[in-house]
Structure 1
Amino acid sequence: MPPKKPINWGLWIKVLVGGSVISIGGPALTFWLVPTEEELRSRYNPELLKRSLEGREERQQEFDQFVTRLKEYSKSDKPIWAVMKEEEERKKRADLEAARLQQLEAAARRDEMRREAGLGK
């Protein structure tokens, strides 16, 4: 039986130290380098900062509505993208129907105005 190879402790120490540096040092370096939200805002152009603050509430509401719709879509057995496509088609049909009704109402008002003015068709 051949003799057992000795354990290379130096190699294992290098591996453990290197792994620790990478797994702990990498996120620590990222945390140290990434600016906070306040630091980013302090670097903004004042005009951009004003526009950003004005639109913040609207963007937050849009995002909240989007997340709410996603939650509703996820309750279905179908994939989310299929449910979203069906919802878009339903919305498009409703918009077309509303536009058609609006055109009919406009035509009816025009005819009524012509009759009141004494003009025939």
Structure 2
Amino acid sequence: MPRLGTSLKMLGVGAVLCIGGPALVQYLRPTEEELFKRFNPELQKRNLETREKRQQDFDDFVMRLKSYAKSDKSIWLAMKDSEATNKKQAKLQRQAEKGEAERQKEQIRKELAEGS
């Protein structure tokens, strides 16, 4: 059985490591403001310009994850189904735009043929 002194030293060293390590990391880690101040002015400007878009994208992502979590399926399957639906909608949109462009071309051809 270890002696009382050895046990106390071990307990003290463990406490210093478990409490002091994270405290040291917290002390040394720079804040977001300090990191932002280290950017050059061009990066600061670009970061400020895109901040709202990035926040909106993140909010949209979180809302989608919440909706996926509400479904009975696993999140991965719900996400896969949603992506498939989005691809189908994009394909239909492209086809509709292509059809509209073709219709406009035909209309222009008819107008040119009538005008000649």
TM-score normalised by length of structure 2: 0.91
Cα offsets for 1:37-57 (capped at 9, x unmatched) = 121112111111111111111
Q: Distance in 2 between matches of 1:99 and 1:111?
A: 18
How many residues get paired? 114
Q: Distance in 2 between matches of 1:71 and 1:29?
A: 36
TM-score normalised by length of structure 1: 0.87
Given candidates 22, 46, 63, the residue that maps to 2:58 is 63
Given candidates 10, 15, 19, the residue that maps to 1:20 is 15
Structure with a larger share of its residues in helix: 2
For the pair 1:35 / 2:23, whether they are aligned, the reply is: no
Q: Distance in 2 between matches of 1:74 and 1:42?
A: 38
SS in 2 for 1:118: helix
**Once superposed, what is the RMSD of the aligned Cα atoms?**
1.4
Aligned to 2:100: 105
C-alpha displacement of 1:96: 0.7
Choose 1 or 2 for highest CA Rg. Answer: 1
Q: Which ranges in structure 1 are unaligned for 5 or more consecutive residues?
A: none
